[in-house]
Amino acid sequence: MFMMVLNILFAINTTILRIGRALAWIALGIMVAVILIQVFFRYVPFLDALPWPEEAARFLMLWMTGLIAPSAYRWGGFVAIDMVPQALPKAICAVLMIVLLGLSTLVLIVAVQLGWQHTMGFGGNFDSSSLRLPLDWFGGTDTKIKLRYMYGSLLFCVVMMLVINIELIIRSVFALVSPDTELPDDDSATNMVRAD
Amino acid sequence: MLVWFLPVFLILLMIGLPVFFGLLFAPGILLWLNGQERDIALLYRNVYNGMDSFPLMALPFFMLAGELMNRGGITTRLVEFSQALMGHLRGGLAHVNILSSILFAGLSGSAVADTSALGSTLIPAMERNGYSRKFAAAITAASSVIGPIIPPSGIMIIYAYVMGESVAALFLAGIVPGVMVGVGLMVMVRLLADRYDLPKAERIVQRGQTLSEGESFISFALLRINIAGLLVGLYHGVFALIGTLDAAKPEINSWWIMLFMLPVAHIIVMMVRKRVSEDFRIVCKKAVAPLQTPIIILGGILIGVFTPTEASAIAVAYALVISFFVLRSMKLSDLPSILMKSALGSSTVLLLVGAAVAFKTVVSLSHAPEQLADSILGLSSDPLILLFLINVLLFIVGMFLDAGPAIIILGPILGPIFVDLGVHPVHFAIIMSVNLTVGLATPPMGLVLFVASSVSGEKVETISKAILPFLAVEIVVIFLITYIPAISMTIPRLTGFVQ
């Protein structure tokens, strides 16, 4: 039963995170381009400085973080002092890990609730000051982007981290009660390290 | 009751809770126990607001620029250039290692990138030249801490943002301390060279290298512009020091001085050219284009042409141009993995900064700095003694925690206390940054020790012993920076970034 849940979570997380990583590096590339456009338009004669690049770049940075930070979390990229866990016997260390993951889950559950209110609440309904969808180019009406589309980046991040946390808890339980069980392994992290 | 969040946070950190969750859990749970549920929502919003920042964007951009430079093969050129300058000295390759770190620091703001890039090239070369592997790994790790001190610097961007300081002022304040660490390490290498009879090396690794016509012309022009710019800087510096710049300013425009200095620079280059070999010239010319990155970043910020964030994007564009069109060492298919690695590394830092901004809100609500200040002032009211004690504390923290998270946690707590005691915020930022950066190379948890170990194949314990003489030098530099504020403050003052 637990193994089935783990396999489902593993498959969902691996797929969503892979898409997230691809979108995140594209966002970073566009961020660079947007800032260069900002500098270009400011200094080239007869061109006016653009109002939107700064906010667009922030929008992209928030989504870059929201999309790729869960991958970093899943691969153990979040900074922690692991001297105490490493010094403990294996079984106690596994229990401690479950406790720590439990605390993280608590933080993430509250964060998801607050994130939902933040994104879908009153504040999220406001328009962005300079970002708009130029639908008028295609015969529609010019539409300003709602702030909730920016706020959503952190909500997506905490939701994904919560799902990953559940996967990590199940893995830790397996490590405690049945250390020899073969668990599904995401080799993307290893591949990225090898790419260096 | 709220003041208890700090000990709770430290305990959670010590038992292994990731810093991001600790920064939110400890204040959150105490706000809840205190009946301040509404402030928990504030905590979440401040994580978002903390990340939603234009100045912070410099962080992923500088990471990306460093990664592009590294993958583009610029490291090899810098090492060859350093060797041409210092290889002939006793302990030559150790000096080359340090000089390469200083030069690499201008391209990347990360000690880890420095260790892995330079270590993989220089540690095997040093072994072949007769150095022990542990010595080679130790000097690589020790010199890599220069990376985050000399601009651009990731931890200084974080500090400036979290504490509301000027990134440009911190960048400028880090130049002299970074060079001092480098020079100090070179002095130690010289002493060890006499004792252990460390070998000299060939100045030119590969003879008969050629340069394309295009790059030759670019280097020709850039070198003269750089020297002329340096002469203009010296001109202004001298007049600023003797206090007559204001009188000279209306009469002579800087661009006219630049125009005058260009032929002077050409004459200087031609004079030097006669004294050096063709191979030496080629190696130096090959380093000119890569070494423009720090000049573009600092020059652009100093002249006021662009902000640090824009400078970082320009640095990325420059790295792309160099890698694709000058060195021709990169393919389009390399870009996704480079972008992904930079995005991955910066996303964890950005989340941490967001959590730190939320944490800082609770720090202010709890009045913890005031209580901590009372306790610290109870130990002594002499700022000099307190600075000594704080350096010891930072050094210990640096042994266990990475520089970025340590700055995020301790900056909001310690910064206001020392600023109230009369320490300039920029000076304190440099003390913290340099101290915690040196912590990256201190056992038992120094991150660069682990990287040096994986690059060299030497045990961490062995490198930890071999690094001790170099750590001693770095500790001396920390205390010099602490007690002589002019070391860090002169350049920002002369350039008007600090009053």
Contact: A69, B347; criterion CB under 8 Å: yes
Predicted confidence (pLDDT) at residue B11 exceeds the cutoff of 60: yes
- H helix or E strand, kind and range, residue A144: strand A143-146
Q: What percent of chain B has pLDDT over 70?
A: 97
pLDDT of residue B243: 67
Rounded to a whole number of angstroms, the distance from the CA of B342 to the nearest CA of chain A is 8
- Residue count of chain A, please give it: 196
Q: Is B60 close to A31, i.e. CB distance below 8 A?
A: yes
ipTM of the complex in this document: 0.92
Q: Tell if the CB–CB gap between B444 and A32 is shorter than 8 Å.
A: no
Confidence of residue A154 (pLDDT cuts 50, 70, 90): very high
- Dihedral-angle region of residue B243 (phi above 0 means left; psi in -120 to 50 means alpha; beta otherwise): left
Cβ contact B19–A62 (<8 Å)? no
**Whether B60 contacts chain A with CB within 8 A:** yes
d(CA A153, CA A64): 8
Q: What is the pLDDT of residues B136-172, one digit of tens each?
A: 999 999 999 998 999 888 899 999 988 889 998 999 9
Instruction: Report the SS3 class of residue A108.
Output: helix
Q: With CA atoms as reference, report the closest residue to B170 among B480, B489, B410.
A: B489
The answer to whether A28 and B64 have CB atoms below 8 angstroms apart is yes
Query: Under an 8 A CB cutoff, do B348 and A35 touch?
Result: no
Separation between Cα atoms, residue A6 and residue A14, nearest integer Å: 12
Question: Strand, coil or helix: what is B112?
Answer: helix
**By 3-state DSSP, what share of chain A in percent is helix, strand and coil, each rounded to 5?**
75, 5, 20
Instruction: Give the number of beta-carbon pairs within 8 Å between A and B.
Output: 168
How confident is the model over B287-300, as pLDDT tens digits?
A: 898 888 888 888 88
Q: Residue A194: what pLDDT?
A: 43
**What is the pLDDT averaged over residues A170-194?**
73
> What residue in B sits closest to A153 (Cα-Cα)?
B48
A81–B20 CB contact, under 8 Å: no
- Interchain pair B16, A81: CB under 8 A: yes
A35, A65, A117 member nearest B309 (Cβ)? A35
**Contact between A79 and B47 using a beta-carbon 8 Å cutoff:** no
Q: Per-residue pLDDT tens for A56-72?
A: 999 999 999 999 999 99
Of B25, B48, B341, the CB nearest to A151: B48
Residue among A61, A75, A117, A160 with most chain B CBs within 10 A, to mutate: A61
Among chain B residues, the shortest Cα distance to A43 is held by B305
Q: Helix, strand, or coil here: A132?
A: strand
Q: Chain-wide mean pLDDT for chain A?
A: 88
Contact B466, B162 (CB under 8 A): no
What residues of chain B, 215 to 254, have a C-beta less than 8 Å from chain A? none
- DSSP code of B346? H
Helix (H, G, I), strand (E, B) or coil at A133: strand
Question: For the whole model, what pTM was predicted?
Answer: 0.87
Using a CB-CB distance cutoff of 8 angstroms, which residues of chain A are in contact with residue B26?
none
| Chain A contact for B47 (CB, 8 A cutoff) | yes
- As a whole number of angstroms, the distance between CA B209 and CA B284 comes to 11
Q: How confident is the model at residue A193 (pLDDT cuts 50, 70, 90)?
A: very low
Q: What are phi and psi of A78, to 5 degrees?
A: -85, 130
- Our CA-based measurement puts residue A6 at a distance from the nearest CA of chain B, in whole angstroms, of 23
A chain contacts of residue B354, beta-carbon cutoff 8 Å: 154
What would the mean pLDDT of B462-468 be, rounded to a whole number? 91
**CB interface of B with A, residues 109-138, below 8 Å:** 116
Flag if B344 and A57 touch (Cβ within 8 Å).
Answer: no
Average pLDDT over chain B reads 87
- Chain B residues with beta carbon closer than 8 angstroms to that of A161: none
